[in-house]
Structure 1
Amino acid sequence: MHIIDELSWRGLIQDSTDIDALRKDIDAGQLSFYVGFDPTAASLHVGHLMQALTARRLQHAGLRPVLLVGGATGQIGDPRDTSERTLNPPETVAQWVENIRQQVAPFVTFEGESAAVPVNNLDWTDELSAIDFLRDVGKHFPVSKMLNREVVRARLESGISFTEFAYQLLQSHDYWELNQRYGVTVQFGGSDQWGNITAGVDYVRRRSGKHVHAFVTPLITKADGTKFGKSEGGAIWLDANLTSPYAFYQFWFNADDRDIVQYLKYLSFRSQAEIEELEKATIEKPQARLAQRALAEEMTVLLHGQAECDQVIAASKALFGRAALTELSEATLVAALSEAGITKVGTEPITVAELLAKSGVVSSTSEARRAVRDGGAYLNNEKLTDATEEVDRSALLFGRYAVVRRGKKTIAGAELDA
């Protein structure tokens, strides 16, 4: 399937400058494209996967990726609908640039004919004087056209600084610089960047007379109306120190049936036939969650590696008694218990009934005694038989953790101090 047809089938092209002309240029020979990531936080989140994985698809089709991390634009910030951004210190942005450069690297290859090129727009923006910026860049931007940008119109009454108003010029200048330095003729990004991206196309034409391409992907939405990439604990980050591989896997595994097929089209590298088969399974056997499992495994392997994904799957089984808890690393166990809910217990001796109640799997010690008596209470997957027995701290996992379970589905964690 031609890359343009594949992107279209997957719903990855919401708007484009001239898709037929882009198809012809792709067929005529290798093109270079760029996609940008602004360092507005210490890590990218799952919403950025749309752009990273689209870049991967384009590279697989023979196009050369130029991956831009905005060391300059990240110090300014694209205007938001609501209010001015807080400007982060340059040294903070510089650290975030390095973090994000490392995060996007695994999605592409830096070898071969279409080897990816990492760039930082601070390299050319930092040396641009105010006079040069106004004369060489600003001269090509009609203010009336800039005022028509939706986010700018929304901010005119509440107020927008010249700093944020000028962001579009900086991003457009990136396209011109990349065209001159690396022969970039395609830019893509999220649909919220359409105004900035087309401004860049127009700027390249005005300044050099060249015609270049652009397209944007849709923003990912959720059927229940909540924001994609969010969970009860906040954003789902790509940094394993901010969102554990276990929580990352669970985010995809818990995806709504109404969303999962579109997520597969947007993000998975499975074929059309495979995705259609998973769509059929979601309709006929939703309880099996085969589509969610497939995407969760694919995304976790891609971001964190096969070994980490295997640990996550083992943890999911072990918590419910279908695998050995002792096979888990401490980091994976703690991450899994944190998702389930973990209660800290002090150093005082504690009975089985008290532990069950404190962990929250039962509402009281009397209910805990009934659960033990009925044979439905477990500690580290071992069936409990005496609710009055003191918890043996020497049998805890890694000397301090306990997996407490009632029945097949209700689990919690406990951390007992030595």
Structure 2
Amino acid sequence: MTDDLLGRHRAVLPDWLALYYDRPLEITHGEGRHVWDAQGNRYLDFFGGILTTMTAHALPEVTKAVTEQAGRIVHSSTLYLNRPMVDLAERVAKLSGIPDARVFFTTSGTEANDTALLLATAYRRSNTVLAMRNSYHGRSFSAVGVTGNRGWSPTSLSPLQTLYVHGGVRTRGPFANLDDYDFVAACVDDLKDLLGHSRPPAALIAEPIQGVGGFTSPPDGLYAAFREVLHERGVLWISDEVQTGWGRTGEHFWGWQAHARSGPPDMLTFAKGIGNGMSIGGVVARSEIMNCLDSHSISTFGGTQITMAAGLANLNYLLEHDLQGNARRVGGLLIERLRAAAAHVPAVREVRGRGLMIGIELTRPGTDEADPAAASAVLEAAREGGLLIGKGGGHDTSALRIAPPLSLNVAEAEEGAAILEDALRSIQ
């Protein structure tokens, strides 16, 4: 990025619009798992536009679909029949696992979660919502109101009464010292106690793996155990799959499937990866929930033809090339390689994750204190080495976030791991 562009950015855009790096980067083009900046430097991309470039940069199949659709019609709104929207909705409904599913398309994950909260509160006639501590669900007024991560919640005002539940972070908090079985039992007991002191909630909204929170997750089965308690009381379960969907975790197509003994959620939300850079989000819900609204509604840009064409082409490529399996295989190799490298770096508290969704938590050596300066230093050093990664965490954690396109190959995984190892060693 030139100094002129940075100055123009600062002069006209909000101060709170975050930029990575001391010298912010202008990305001009990409191909496969690589991007280039305005100075011609090439980078291996391990963050994919915040998990949005799911398959590959400039994927020919998606580019072709977008170009052909743009030559026909780009947009008409939901007031008219839309074949690409119906085609994609049918595919998503079937893949969701939710019986008698209905799909509503939005333009972002924030809008998807906002819609899910609207549906849940209308269906249940309650504005009380359960959410997880350290969670993040978007930037809208209602989504901020259920975000349990202080660093991403700019106001305490909200149309919702939100109650926060333990369990999203396995290795911190009051139950961290318990084994998995007792951890789940303690979180369930806490949930039951919370429900005994509150008005009946509309829903629990939860990320199977917390994204902005630093790729943290509970033991498998926690949300199934929660679901059993909630189902007895008629409380809905919304699985926020904006970052975990479409096979990124390798083991499952959806994050909720790691907690599947009680069946699918009542609703799931999605976005990011399905569009491979195009603006697509959405909600899948059982028909009686989706159809509970008693007023008219439309979506001007949700489900527009050009984004639906991109989503269909991208989803076809994902399934035909078994990118979920690739995420499991290559992601497994990458996480083990990073754990081996991190074993020699005292600042690394934990390497965690599934598939191609990996977090590296950094602390001040010998303590559990977060070290955001170290996270920023590793981010800078990785960039200098030719690798782009992300960062996240709650107010008491600092984590690096690694989420490459799901077509990452073994050689690229090894290359990225080597750069990351050097970057981690540079902070010692």
TM-score calculated relative to the size of structure 1: 0.25
TM-score calculated relative to the size of structure 2: 0.25
Structure whose residues are more often helix by fraction:
1
Identify the structure with bigger relative contact order (alpha carbons < 8 Å, sequence gap 6+): 2
